[in-house]
Structure 1
């Protein structure tokens, strides 16, 4: 069921069973990938999850790495690897490590990363974590490897939010960036839509229909406590945080029609952003907080526009196609991701904002809700495959995609959280 601009509040509803576990399927090959070997960690066989496999899946999903099966024997972080054999296998980098259960029940995770070409020790770290945090430790190792080898910060230890429905039960979930370790943040008999992470990663704004109309709540992820932020006359929808976390842009119909307003994150009286007789919705802040992108039909069909954060002036951004919605801006402000209708199909597009060049990221036909990873190198979005709804991640060039699909049911409304502060 696709999100439609003119029926925004009604067609975001989710209609299949919920689930919390994912199966990651990576497809495609990037144009340039770093060949790396991730050796099995010593001691991991005694644990319920193989940490080296988690690291491998993270790196493959990023599109930046080609993981080679280890041509050498068992190694841990204290051993110098057999560099000649690794070079002959075509590896540029090698990571190994160990896991050990401590007396207090925690797991000691250690790793070391080698530059195979230069024969240099690049990095090494250790973590003492509880068993439930073993996956998080693996993601942190993957983050370190990613950053050392690419120069960019890794996002594997960040989180995503999404929504499911089972029967008449809707749930808001918070999960690892690979979709695993999902925790239910909220359950409701009424629809939940449009989750949006605060810049510090501690809160989620979302829209709930439990009052028999759309209202906006802000939910503290750590404590589970929430507060009502927008319950004005008519509908309250599409919350988006300002980069400093002090303001929410949202869509209200309190004055008739759907219009953009700004509201203090502490609550209070909203301020109308634009004076318009058109439908204006789906706001998204630029990373520097100076502009707000939004969807409007002021030109006759839904297109993406931009105004200043104070509502001074409106500039049209999208010109290709007659139906463009769901804007998301990359953390560096360079890219605009959005959904465009092409011949009846809804596809994820990417615009290079400095020059306006547009590319199609997907070959699917029912894409929705794009959201950038906090390093700006990947996207998560919802789509349909073989009649079922699923989450996908993709590199910006669309060359490498990973399907985060569950054992049963459908998932919707993904939003990728920020780096941990």
Structure 2
């Protein structure tokens, strides 16, 4: 299976479908580990949720548990409405610091409405809630929104359960660029091809994906608008066009081209105009990524003899080496707050996800697998999504930024690679 580190790949077959297609399977999340401190929370069944294919409370429980920051307290089958009289002492005795309940009612236009409240059992107070109207087939989205609200209220960080992930699924000779909910459900094949697809990158507004397609037997960068299912060529220069990365304002992308010789980093406007070279080294420069403030670009280069990560001004200029531990460090990705850098470190032949504190330059290896690739931060910076191998097949996994919580997303018969976590929708 191709990785974003590949510059040239030979493909076979032909054909491309742009229409979105339902995925053939759904991902499952397996969770190990927990945060340093967990918030005990009781998520009671909601009144009226039996009319749904799956209960909202069950989806909310799954979301919060997957974060590793919450400890679920058993509630029993009895629903708790948002306007119920709460026996705070009883719930506190049962071990819950927080309790959520709600109810679902039908609206005249065929939609459903959920009302929920969050209660603090220690302070015996109401922490607020929401009313959400949704179509019956959108129940998971409603539950994710509730889980996001609860997560932010109790941790102070934005929830990421309503966000999306993109990844490439290879099944036989077919490649699919898929987009799914953050929990792996509701997967849709946005692009299907008999040729490789690599390096998907989300636009800052979450409406477009840039990626590399080998449809014409050479790597070409496209920009794909998800709502209209339309795509356009961004870069099709002589040689290889690869590794797209959006600037934080979405006006341009950093890309890797070989049109002038070795792989070097260029800047190009989002409409495909104004290409400008940013690096001019005697080595291979690739895998550019912008800092969140748009002032710097981190990239991989072997200009010093071995692949390492460098940083330069976003407009080009002198590059400074960032990684010094180990002889092989690639695939940089900066956290949303700009304070840490996730990357792949090779040690004794094993590729693992590592995290560097950019202020102290201290490095922590977060995973214990052998063939990790493509680290991508969740938009709140709490988790890092990546691809790895299990039983000879590619799977997706995630690890918390402190290394305590690990997830594995499985359920497909093919190879799943090249993950990218979408930003929070504005």
Where do 1:40-79 residues align within 5 Å? Answer: 40-70=45-75, 73-79=78-84
Tell me by how many angstroms 1:72 deviates. 8.3
Tell me by how many angstroms 1:12 deviates. 12
Do structure 1's residue 179 and structure 2's residue 178 form an aligned pair? Answer: no
* Partner residue in 1 for 2:97: 92
CA contact (8 A) 1:174 1:185 kept: yes
Q: Greater shift after overlay, 402-411 or 178-187? A: 402-411
Where do 1:18-417 residues align within 5 Å? Answer: 19-70=24-75, 73-417=78-422
**Structure 1: distance between partners of 2:156 and 2:241:** 41
Q: 1:221 to 1:183 in 2, by over 3 A?
A: same
Q: Greater shift after overlay, 69-78 or 195-204? A: 69-78
**Structure 2: distance between partners of 1:306 and 1:143:** 34
Tell me by how many angstroms 1:134 deviates. 1.1
Q: Greater shift after overlay, 91-100 or 300-309? A: 91-100
Tell me by how many angstroms 1:19 deviates. 4.4
CA contact (8 A) 2:107 2:113 kept: yes
Q: Greater shift after overlay, 129-138 or 252-261? A: 129-138
**Structure 2: distance between partners of 1:412 and 1:110:** 38
CA contact (8 A) 1:2 1:366 kept: no
Q: 1:60-115 CA deviation, whole Å, 9 max, x = no partner?
A: 11122111111684211111322112111221111111223434322212211001
Figure out how many residues of one structure are paired with residues of the other and give that number. 416
Q: 1:179-200 CA deviation, whole Å, 9 max, x = no partner?
A: 1111111111111110000001
Q: Flag structure 1 segments of 5+ consecutive residues without an equivalent.
A: none
CA contact (8 A) 2:179 2:190 kept: yes
Question: TM-score, normalised to structure 2's length?
Answer: 0.94
User: What is the Cα-based RMSD across aligned positions, in Å?
Assistant: 1.8
**Structure 2: distance between partners of 1:386 and 1:31:** 31
CA contact (8 A) 1:3 1:11 kept: no
Question: TM-score, normalised to structure 1's length?
Answer: 0.95
Q: Greater shift after overlay, 105-114 or 259-268? A: 105-114
**Structure 1: distance between partners of 2:71 and 2:319:** 44
Q: Flag structure 2 segments of 5+ consecutive residues without an equivalent.
A: 13-22
